[in-house]
A and B are shown apart, each in its own frame.
Chain A
Amino acid sequence: GAVVSQHPSRVICKSGTSVKIECRSLDFQATTMFWYRQFPKQSLMLMATSNEGSKATYEQGVEKDKFLINHASLTLSTLTVTSAHPEDSSFYICSARVDRTAYEQYFGPGTRLTVT
């Protein structure tokens, strides 16, 4: 149980375009989902926390107008990278937890974004 999927697994887009990444909890309802970014050979950095039905909470230094997060249902959160630039190229990972009292997060397999 506790499977999280991400789609797409890889995406290449041109500079200036927008790209949407989906994160789904397949066998549980996730009240909270998290989005992380991982640069090559580096650690995971939390970008934002999204709670179903409310606005996402962004970490300091993360542009909320550039990284739009929507958590419209208990099984789906989306991250849209708007007006992407080459420096946005990275590995994006989502995670989900069952409820607000749970501390364990279940991770998706990640999405590699390349902006040309």
Chain B
Amino acid sequence: AQTVTQSQPEMSVQEAETVTLSCTYDTSESDYYLFWYKQPPSRQMILVIRQEAYKQQNATENRFSVNFQKAAKSFSLKISDSQLGDAAMYFCACFGNEKLTFGTGTRLTIIP
């Protein structure tokens, strides 16, 4: 079985500041992939960033970067220069054994 844990139900950050969302996972698969998705009020799931587990280098996408600690099974998301449009639910997810398992989500609020 695969599990994904997000221990922060809610987070807030001042506009232009940096925030880190935490995620831990557990999987018995040796080949797996990790994702962060954003779900704004429209409910459309938007891919923020992906990480192949076999890659040691942390993925980055503009203002978004991850800290992937494979041994610790940790996959945190750092958002730099936070913008009002970043406000949303953020879900961490693990794809392994043909299934995508989501964490419970972190609601991010941006304070102007």
Residues of A within 8 A of B (CB): 34, 38, 42-46, 49, 91, 93, 95, 103-105, 107, 109-110
Cross-chain contact B42 with A43 (CB below 8 angstroms): no
B33, B91, B99: the one within 8 Å of A43 (CB):
B91
Cross-chain contact B47 with A110 (CB below 8 angstroms): no
Contacts of B84 in A (CB 8 A): none
Q: Roughly how many angstroms separate A27 CA and B105 CA in the complex, as a whole number?
A: 30
Cross-chain contact A110 with B100 (CB below 8 angstroms): no
CB distance from B103 to the nearest CB of A (A): 6
CB distance from A97 to the nearest CB of B (A): 10
Q: Would you call the interface of chain A mostly helix, strand, loop, or mixed?
A: strand
B33, B47, B99, B103: the one within 8 Å of A46 (CB):
B99
Cross-chain contact B43 with A109 (CB below 8 angstroms): yes
Q: Which of B2-48 contact A (CB under 8 A)?
A: 33, 37, 42-45, 47
CB distance from B21 to the nearest CB of A (A): 14
For residue A46, which residue of chain B has the nearest CB? B99
For residue B96, which residue of chain A has the nearest CB? A103
Given A43-B102, A43-B104, A44-B91; A104-B44 close (CB under 8 Å): no
Contacts of A91 in B (CB 8 A): 43
Contacts of A42 in B (CB 8 A): 104-105
Cross-chain contact A107 with B45 (CB below 8 angstroms): yes
* Besides A46-B100, A49-B99, 15 new A-B residue pairs in contact (Cβ under 8 A), listed by A number: A42-B104, A43-B102, A43-B103, A43-B104, A44-B45, A45-B102, A49-B98, A95-B45, A95-B100, A104-B33, A104-B47, A105-B95, A105-B100, A107-B45, A110-B44
